[in-house]
Structure 1
Amino acid sequence: MTQGVLITIAVVLGWIVLAAIQRRLQARHRNRAFWALILIGIPVLGWLTLNGGPMVGVAGLAMGIVVLLRAPRRRVSKRMVPPAE
C-alpha cells in the first residue's frame, strides 16, 4: 500500500467517526451536522474512488448511505407502567 491510500483510508475512517458522533448531538444540531457530513463526504468519496477504483467507490457510497440513514435508536423509558386493574 502506498502512503496516499493509507491517508485516504484514515480520512474515510475519520468521516465514519464523525458520522457516529453526529447521532449523539442534540436534535437542533443534528440536521446541520447531517448536511455538513454530506458536503465533506462527497470529495472524500471521490478521493476514495480515485485511489481504490470504481468498486471501492461504490462500496464506500453504500457504506456512507447506511451510516447516515440508519434508524435512530429509541431510548427506553425508566418510568414504571402502573398495573392494569
Structure 2
Amino acid sequence: MTLPLILGCLWLVLANVIAMFPTRDKHIRAGMVLAVVGIPLLGWITWSNGPLWGLAFLIGGASIMRWPLIWFWRSVRRTG
C-alpha cells in the first residue's frame, strides 16, 4: 500500500471520528479543514495510484462530506 493510500485511509477514519462528536458550529470548521486537506490528498492518490483509486476515494469522501456537497448543489441551482 502506498503512502497516499495510507494517508487517504487515515483521512477517512479521522473524518468519521470527527463526525461522531457534537460541535456548536455543526462541524463547519472541521469540514473546511477536512476539505483543505482532502482535495490535494485526492489529487495525490489519483496521480500516484490511478483514476480508479481516485474515484474510490472521491466517493468515500463525498459520502462523508455530503452536506457541504448538498449545500453547494442547492446554491448552484438557485443561481442558475
Same topology, TM > 0.5: yes
Q: CA deviation at 1:29?
A: 6.3
RMSD value over aligned CA atoms? 1.8
Higher helix content, 1 or 2: 2
Q: Deviations over 1:27-54 (max 9, x none)?
A: 3261100111011001100110011111
User: Does 1:12 find its partner at 2:29?
Assistant: no
Residue 22 (structure 1) aligned with residue 18 (structure 2):
yes
TM-score, normalization by structure 2? 0.71
Q: Which has the larger radius of gyration?
A: 1
Structure 2 distance, partners of 1:26, 1:16, is 19
In structure 1, runs of 5+ residues without a counterpart are 71-85
> TM-score normalised to the size of structure 1?
0.67
Match of 1:45, as an amino acid? L
Instruction: Tell whether the 8 Å contact from 1:45 to 1:60 is kept in structure 2 after alignment.
Output: yes
Tell me what 1:54 maps to. 51
User: Percent of aligned positions with the same letter in both sequences?
Assistant: 32
Moved over 4 A (4+): none
Tell me, yes or no, if the aligned pair for 1:22 and 1:34 is still in contact at 8 Å. Answer: no
AA paired with 2:36? L
CA contact (8 A) 1:48 1:57 kept: yes
SS in 1 for 2:65: helix
